[in-house]
């Protein structure tokens, strides 16, 4: 097995200190590499330790996207593991004793966007809903899925929960890090479920996010940086990104994109739909995201897919994109 750190795709990807916003295209293997604080090696003044809750939720996030978590732990100058690392990992271990079946041997979530704050993993005819914050309404809404639900239980206590009207009742005990609900299903889920078509905002405009995009190709993928999702790693000009929209009335829309591109990568020619063609300007860095109007697009009434594609790749990567806004002209 060879990873992608020799500037070739090879067998699997290794994003560092970031978690992709979704599973990688084509079922590509990957693992996120992270540190418990800010440094890979021992740094006496680095006390920015991740909390057990943060580590547990990152683990759930990665497992729910079909990845592996490589978490760096190292000794100080005397060969002793720092106490904050010991305390954090001990707490994560206690959580894993209760909920390990929701992580070990599981596969990625195939249900699409979840209607609650948390993640989901799958194992055969079981689904594990890993809930970060229990909804204030009391019940937990179930994701849209291709199979039925036979039963639900709280994994920490074995308590049976009530299912009704597409929701699960609240267990008597909520875990401060993440509560796990095990669902017994009528069959093995199929998927992934396609994103639902996007409807216009009250003012008639469309907001197309990185999370809602359908990516075609082998390199472009979603990732999360600074808590915001974007589509990056766009190195293959054959890749394209699309969004399914429901247009209530035919009209002309101004196309605006929120994107990033460092100086050395600027200049690629992109096309949004068949009309809005533009050259990607420099924004200064992969982490600098201004909005840019790139042209107009005529949309017919009804459901359709609008796509962003590469017409000409100038350098090694096209751009990073957080989203698209279609505003009625």
Going residue by residue through the chain (329 aa), what tens digit of pLDDT does each one get?
899 888 888 999 999 988 887 788 788 999 999 999 999 999 999 999 999 999 999 999 999 999 999 999 989 999 999 999 999 999 999 999 999 999 999 999 998 878 888 999 999 999 999 999 999 889 999 998 889 999 999 999 999 999 999 999 999 999 999 999 999 999 999 877 766 789 999 999 999 998 788 888 767 887 777 667 889 989 999 999 999 999 999 999 999 999 999 999 999 999 998 889 999 999 999 999 999 999 999 999 999 999 999 999 999 999 999 999 999 99
Task: Report the CATH architecture of 206-328.
Answer: Sandwich (2.60)
Residues forming beta bridges with residue 196, ordered by sequence position: none
Give the pLDDT score at 227: 64
Judge contact between 72 and 55, C-beta under 8 A: no
Phi then psi for 53, rounded to 5 degrees?
-60, -45
Burial (Cβ within 10 Å: 0-12, 13-18, ≥19) of residue 17: exposed
pTM given for the model:
0.68
Tokens standing for residue 259:
């994107």
Distances (CA, A) of 249 to 199, 200, 228, 243: 12, 11, 31, 17
Q: How far apart are CA 300 and CA 250, in angstroms?
A: 4
Residues carrying CATH 2.60.120.260, the chain: 206-328
Q: Selecting from 3.40.50.12280, 2.60.40.1180, 3.40.190.10, 2.40.30.10, what CATH number does the domain 118-185 have? A: 2.60.40.1180
Judge contact between 327 and 285, C-beta under 8 A: no
Q: What is the DSSP letter of 55?
A: H
Judge contact between 164 and 141, C-beta under 8 A: no
> Can you spell out the DSSP letters for 99-142?
HGGGTTT-B---S-S-SSSEEEEEETTEEEEEESS--TTSSEEP
Q: How far apart are CA 309 and CA 63, in angstroms?
A: 30
Give the pLDDT score at 55: 96
Residues carrying CATH 2.60.40.1180, the chain: 118-185
């Amino acid at each position: 097995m060879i990873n992608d750190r020799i500037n070739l795709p090879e067998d699997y990807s290794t994003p560092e200190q970031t978690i992709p916003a979704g599973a990688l295209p084509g079922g590509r293997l990957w693992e996120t590499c992270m540190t418990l604080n800010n440094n890979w090696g021992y740094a006496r003044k680095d006390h920015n330790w991740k909390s057990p809750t943060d580590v547990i939720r990152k683990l759930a996030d990665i497992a729910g996207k079909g990845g592996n978590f490589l978490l760096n732990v190292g000794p100080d100058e005397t060969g002793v593991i720092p106490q904050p690392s010991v305390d954090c990992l001990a707490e994560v271990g206690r959580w894993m004793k209760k909920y390990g079946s929701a992580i070990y041997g599981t596969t990625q979530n195939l249900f699409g966007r979840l209607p609650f704050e948390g993640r989901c993993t799958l194992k055969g005819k079981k689904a594990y809903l890993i809930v970060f914050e229990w909804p204030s309404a009391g019940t937990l809404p179930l994701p849209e899925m291709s199979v039925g639900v036979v039963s639900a239980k709280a994994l920490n206590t074995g308590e049976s929960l009530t299912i009704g009207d597409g929701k699960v009742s609240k267990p008597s005990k909520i875990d401060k890090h993440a509560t796990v609900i095990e669902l017994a299903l009528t069959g093995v889920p199929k998927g992934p479920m396609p994103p639902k078509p996007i409807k216009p905002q009250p003012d008639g405009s469309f907001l197309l996010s990185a999370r809602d995009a359908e990516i075609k190709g082998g390199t472009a993928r979603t990732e999360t940086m600074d808590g915001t999702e974007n589509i990056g790693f766009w190195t293959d000009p054959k890749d394209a990104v699309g969004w399914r929209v429901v247009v209530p009335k035919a009209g002309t829309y101004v196309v605006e994109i929120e994107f990033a591109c460092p100086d050395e990568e600027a200049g690629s020619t992109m096309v949004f739909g068949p009309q809005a063609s533009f050259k990607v300007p420099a924004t200064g860095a992969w982490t600098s995201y201004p909005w840019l109007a790139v042209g107009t697009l005529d949309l017919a009434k009804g459901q359709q897919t609008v796509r962003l594609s590469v017409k000409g790749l100038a350098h090694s990567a096209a751009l990073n994109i957080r989203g698209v806004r279609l505003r009625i002209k």
